[in-house]
Structure 1
Amino acid sequence: MQERLQGYSYYKWLIFGVVGTGTFMSTLTASIVNVALPPITTALHSNIATAQWVVTAYLLVITSLLPLMGRLGDVLGRSKLFGYGFAGFTAASLLCGTASSIGMLTAFRVLQAIGASVLMANAMAIVTSFFPPNERGKVLGMIGTIVALGSLCGPGLGGLLVEAFDWHAIFFVNIPVGVLGYAGARLILPVDRERRQETIDYLGAALFAAGMASLLLALNNGTEWGWLSLMTLGCILFSLVLFVLFIRYEKRVAQPMLELSIFKNRDFSTGNLAGLLSFMAMFSSSLLVPYFLHDIMAFSPGKIGLIMSAFPLVMAVVAPLSGMLSDKVGPVALTTSGLGVLAAGLVITANLQAGSGLWLILASQALMGLGNGLFQSPNNNSVMSAVEPRQLGVAGGINALARNFGMVCGTALAVAILEHQRMVSLSGLSQPTPAQQAAAFMDGYQAALFVGAGLAVAGMLISCKRAGKTVSGQ
């Protein structure tokens, strides 16, 4: 099948279609469950604290496994592994839909996350391998758009499925798409070259995964546990110890999971750091703006959804255009200006008030979408073009790791700032009035978004330091 297709000019776009399907599924499933948690909690006779692990476990496992899955793709073959990722993800989705207890559902979500981590880690590597350098920015921009759309469409689609059917539908909807994706991976993706004669550093992978899981656990639960609580500090300290052991071990092992020398590449390091800061900045607003629109503006859920859609819609238009432009002019100007526009959008969003006009609210969301669209595609192009072909899987895994970790850190930071500022504003008030509570929320909301804008500015300063070069042969 592959031999017959490879002679056609559209063959690379068939490859893109398979990769895009896996990317959309894995990112959609990360957010689609949130809206279904209340009915899941009731149906499976659980409570909110326990049911939250259905979401948390998926996030922890994916983020912890991304570098390993990228490395496995480099060694074992990306096309083969991508097919396995589809199969595992689809089978786990079926199991999730048939779960009869919250414990079973959480365990099956872990299996689903393993499959999703394979898809996420190897998507950009496959695309980078099969598209020429002069088209890479465009297609990576389209992948970035798919990531954003998958993440932002999840709650809306989940709500429709739960309302029309029940909570099982949010998992069963993956099955036909997953079967189609698996067939595409087997029939369309090129057969991998002969396996590289290298060993897999499973001990290094275990140290990294455990350290990352412990750190994410602290970030996810820091507000609930208390940031200075024994549990939070213990998780952070444990993660730091594991990361130190991981680095020391990786320097000694002959074939490490992660070649630390890859971070000496300035374009690779600055691109990932800027990407991390961009997602931290973006997710400082994505969690809080819906609360502002609902609690302060008194908008309906439908209206809030329409307003929030301005961000992904503008990004969906801008990201491919920005990627194509980066193929011609390089990444530096686009990434730097994109983060500057994102920062401006966050400042405008932070200054919204109860009397702000709808046009200004929409404009602030559109401006953030514009900034993110300008930044993400050239940045991904810069990161993936900065490494050698044999390192593309690991590079894609680290790029996805920076994205996921930025989402978690941005959300945790925004919630922590919001809660701290609210406590400060309400201190001394034993029975605050609704107006005082609203004012306290606005104090925390503005502080969190101003910090998000500061993170975008920091990313902008880092981004302008990249050299904007590609590795020879790519």
Structure 2
Amino acid sequence: MQEKLQQLSFYKWLIFGVVGTGSFMATMTSSIVNVGLPPITAALHTDIPTAQWVVTAYLLVITSLLPLMGRLGDVLGRRKVYGYGFIGFTAGSLLCGLANSIGLLIGFRVLQAVGASALMANAMAIVTSNFPPQERGKVLGMIGTIVALGSLSGPGLGGVLVEHVGWHAIFFVNLPVGLLGFIGVYLVLPFDRDMRRETIDYSGAALFTAAMVGFLLALSYGTEWGWLSVNTLGCIGFAVASFLVFVAQERKVEHPMLELSIFRNWAFTAGNLAGALSFTAMFTSTMLLPYFLHDVLSYSPAKTGLIMSAFPLMMAITAPLSGSLSDKVGPGILTTAGLGLMASGLLITAKLSSGSSLLAIMAGQALMGLGNGMFQSPNNSSVMSAVAPRYLGVASGVNALARNFGMVCGTALSVSILEYRRAASLSGISQPTPAEQTLAFMTGYHDALLVGVFLAVIGSLVSFNRPRKAVPGRT
């Protein structure tokens, strides 16, 4: 069956369809669950801090396992790991929908996240290895479109399912898509050839996971615990110690989980650094804008969702175009200009006030989406073209890690700045009036987004100094 499919002129696009299915499902699930947290909290008789672990555990596991899953794809075969990713994700989704306690739900979300990490870490590697270099920008741009559509459809679909079916449905909806994706892996994806007989550095993976969990816990809960508290400083200290031991481990083992020498390639390092900065900057707005629209402007959830859809919609339109263009002109100009536009959109969003028009709000979101779409596709193409073919899995995993790490940092940074500036504005006021509370919120909101503008500008400068054309490293 597969041999017949490989003879088709559009066979590579069948491969793209399978990879796109996994990318869409993993992205949609990341955004669909937030809508279901309130009914989950009530139905499973728990509280908000505990229910939040349904999201936090998923994020921690994915971010921690991405490099390992990329490495497993390089060694065991990307087809095999991607197929296992579909199995784990689909099984986790089924069990999540059947869970009758918050502890079981969180545990099954971990299984779901293991599968999702396998999908995320190997998606771009599979696409890159099956498309010629002159088409990589275009096809990676189309992956960017699928990611944007997944983010766009998640909250809306989740709201409908929760309201008319129940919270279990936000997990069950993955089942037919997951089964379809696994069938696609079995029938369509080519078998990996010339796989290396190398050992897997599981001790290095454990050290990296420990470092990421410690650091992400500090970032996620630093505001709640206090940044100088024993819990926060303990997590940071544990993360630093684990990471230092991890680096020492990777330097001495014959087959490390993460080949540190690939970071000597500036095109690879610059692309991942710029990517992390872009997502950190972006999530200052993604986190705080809904609170501004709801608490300050009193917009309904439906109107808020419509406004914020301008960002992924513009990204979905722009990403394939910028990807195709980068195949001709290289990544430097497009990534630099894209982050410049993102910084401009963030600046417009930072300057919003209680009297801002709907047009101004939508313009800021559209400009950010335009800039992000212009940046992501050429940047992903540059990163994946900067490494030798045998390290495509690791490169794909690191690229996804940079994205997730930026999301966590942007969320934690924006909340920390908001709460610090709001508390400073209200210090000495025992019973603040609604106007004083709004003013305090706006002070923190403006400062947090201005930090996002600064980070986007730094990312733009990093992109400006990357090589015009990525040259694969020898390692």
Residues in 1 aligned to 2:468 and 2:381: alpha-carbon distance in whole angstroms? 10
Between stretches 458-467 and 296-305, larger displacement belongs to 296-305
| Corresponding position of 2:144 | 144
Offset of residue 264 of structure 1: 0.1
Question: Given residue 273 of structure 2, which amino acid in structure 1 is its aligned partner?
Answer: L
Residues in 1 aligned to 2:147 and 2:191: alpha-carbon distance in whole angstroms? 26
| Corresponding position of 1:68 | 68
Residues in 2 aligned to 1:352 and 1:470: alpha-carbon distance in whole angstroms? 39
| Corresponding position of 2:410 | 410
SS at match of 2:197: coil
- From the superposition, tell whether residues 473 and 225 of structure 1 become closer, same or farther in structure 2 (CA, over 3 Å): closer
Offset of residue 457 of structure 1: 0.3
Q: Do the aligned residues in 1 keep the contact of 2:121 with 2:393 (CA within 8 Å)?
A: yes
* In the alignment, structure 1 residue 284 sits paired with structure 2 residue 271: no
Residues in 2 aligned to 1:324 and 1:195: alpha-carbon distance in whole angstroms? 31
| Corresponding position of 1:81 | 81
Question: Given residue 364 of structure 1, which amino acid in structure 2 is its aligned partner?
Answer: G
| Corresponding position of 2:399 | 399
SS at match of 1:12: helix
Offset of residue 143 of structure 1: 1.1
The equivalences for 1:219-258 within 5 A come to 219-258=219-258
Offset of residue 37 of structure 1: 1.0
Question: Given residue 99 of structure 1, which amino acid in structure 2 is its aligned partner?
Answer: A
Structure 2 length normalisation: TM-score? Answer: 0.98
Residues in 1 aligned to 2:139 and 2:383: alpha-carbon distance in whole angstroms? 14
Residues in 1 aligned to 2:424 and 2:49: alpha-carbon distance in whole angstroms? 26
| Corresponding position of 2:193 | 193
Cα deviation per residue 1:231-265 (whole Å; 9 max; x = unaligned)? 01100110000000000110000110011000000
- State the Cα RMSD in Å: 1.2
Q: Do the aligned residues in 2 keep the contact of 1:315 with 1:372 (CA within 8 Å)?
A: yes
Cα deviation per residue 1:105-128 (whole Å; 9 max; x = unaligned)? 111000000000000000000000
> Sequence identity, in percent?
72
| Corresponding position of 2:326 | 326
| Corresponding position of 1:315 | 315
- From the superposition, tell whether residues 356 and 241 of structure 1 become closer, same or farther in structure 2 (CA, over 3 Å): same
Offset of residue 153 of structure 1: 3.0
| Corresponding position of 1:364 | 364
Residues in 2 aligned to 1:181 and 1:287: alpha-carbon distance in whole angstroms? 31
Offset of residue 151 of structure 1: 2.9
Residues in 2 aligned to 1:139 and 1:467: alpha-carbon distance in whole angstroms? 21
Cα deviation per residue 1:282-309 (whole Å; 9 max; x = unaligned)? 0000011111111111111111111111
| Corresponding position of 1:383 | 383
Q: Do the aligned residues in 1 keep the contact of 2:331 with 2:469 (CA within 8 Å)?
A: no
Q: Where in structure 2 are there 5+ consecutive unaligned residues?
A: none
Offset of residue 472 of structure 1: 5.8
The equivalences for 1:327-342 within 5 A come to 327-342=327-342
Residues in 2 aligned to 1:27 and 1:136: alpha-carbon distance in whole angstroms? 21
* In the alignment, structure 1 residue 298 sits paired with structure 2 residue 298: yes
Question: Given residue 273 of structure 1, which amino acid in structure 2 is its aligned partner?
Answer: L
Between stretches 136-145 and 71-80, larger displacement belongs to 136-145
Residues in 2 aligned to 1:381 and 1:5: alpha-carbon distance in whole angstroms? 26
Q: Do the aligned residues in 2 keep the contact of 1:382 with 1:468 (CA within 8 Å)?
A: no
Between stretches 219-228 and 237-246, larger displacement belongs to 219-228
Number of residue pairs the alignment of both structures matches: 474
Offset of residue 148 of structure 1: 2.8
Offset of residue 81 of structure 1: 1.1
Question: Given residue 396 of structure 2, which amino acid in structure 1 is its aligned partner?
Answer: G
| Corresponding position of 1:117 | 117
Offset of residue 424 of structure 1: 1.0
Q: Where in structure 1 are there 5+ consecutive unaligned residues?
A: none
- From the superposition, tell whether residues 256 and 293 of structure 1 become closer, same or farther in structure 2 (CA, over 3 Å): same
Offset of residue 473 of structure 1: 11
The equivalences for 1:6-21 within 5 A come to 6-21=6-21
Q: Do the aligned residues in 1 keep the contact of 2:386 with 2:473 (CA within 8 Å)?
A: no
Question: Given residue 208 of structure 1, which amino acid in structure 2 is its aligned partner?
Answer: F
- From the superposition, tell whether residues 211 and 472 of structure 1 become closer, same or farther in structure 2 (CA, over 3 Å): closer
Question: Given residue 38 of structure 2, which amino acid in structure 1 is its aligned partner?
Answer: P
SS at match of 1:470: coil
| Corresponding position of 1:3 | 3
| Corresponding position of 2:163 | 163
Q: Do the aligned residues in 1 keep the contact of 2:32 with 2:158 (CA within 8 Å)?
A: yes
Residues in 2 aligned to 1:427 and 1:145: alpha-carbon distance in whole angstroms? 45
Offset of residue 156 of structure 1: 2.1
Q: Do the aligned residues in 2 keep the contact of 1:140 with 1:380 (CA within 8 Å)?
A: yes
Residues in 1 aligned to 2:351 and 2:149: alpha-carbon distance in whole angstroms? 26
Residues in 2 aligned to 1:473 and 1:251: alpha-carbon distance in whole angstroms? 18
* In the alignment, structure 1 residue 206 sits paired with structure 2 residue 194: no
The equivalences for 1:339-354 within 5 A come to 339-354=339-354
SS at match of 2:237: helix
Q: Do the aligned residues in 1 keep the contact of 2:83 with 2:185 (CA within 8 Å)?
A: yes
Residues in 2 aligned to 1:266 and 1:158: alpha-carbon distance in whole angstroms? 41
Residues in 2 aligned to 1:63 and 1:271: alpha-carbon distance in whole angstroms? 18
Cα deviation per residue 1:6-38 (whole Å; 9 max; x = unaligned)? 122211111111001101111211221111111
Question: Given residue 422 of structure 1, which amino acid in structure 2 is its aligned partner?
Answer: R
Residues in 2 aligned to 1:424 and 1:16: alpha-carbon distance in whole angstroms? 51
Question: Given residue 105 of structure 1, which amino acid in structure 2 is its aligned partner?
Answer: L
| Corresponding position of 1:264 | 264
| Corresponding position of 2:440 | 440
Residues in 2 aligned to 1:350 and 1:123: alpha-carbon distance in whole angstroms? 34
Q: Do the aligned residues in 1 keep the contact of 2:387 with 2:473 (CA within 8 Å)?
A: no
Question: Given residue 34 of structure 1, which amino acid in structure 2 is its aligned partner?
Answer: N
Question: Given residue 201 of structure 1, which amino acid in structure 2 is its aligned partner?
Answer: D
SS at match of 1:287: helix
- From the superposition, tell whether residues 473 and 191 of structure 1 become closer, same or farther in structure 2 (CA, over 3 Å): farther
Question: Given residue 17 of structure 1, which amino acid in structure 2 is its aligned partner?
Answer: G
Residues in 2 aligned to 1:8 and 1:105: alpha-carbon distance in whole angstroms? 43
Offset of residue 413 of structure 1: 0.2
SS at match of 1:63: helix
| Corresponding position of 2:461 | 461
Between stretches 146-155 and 32-41, larger displacement belongs to 146-155
Q: Do the aligned residues in 2 keep the contact of 1:278 with 1:339 (CA within 8 Å)?
A: yes
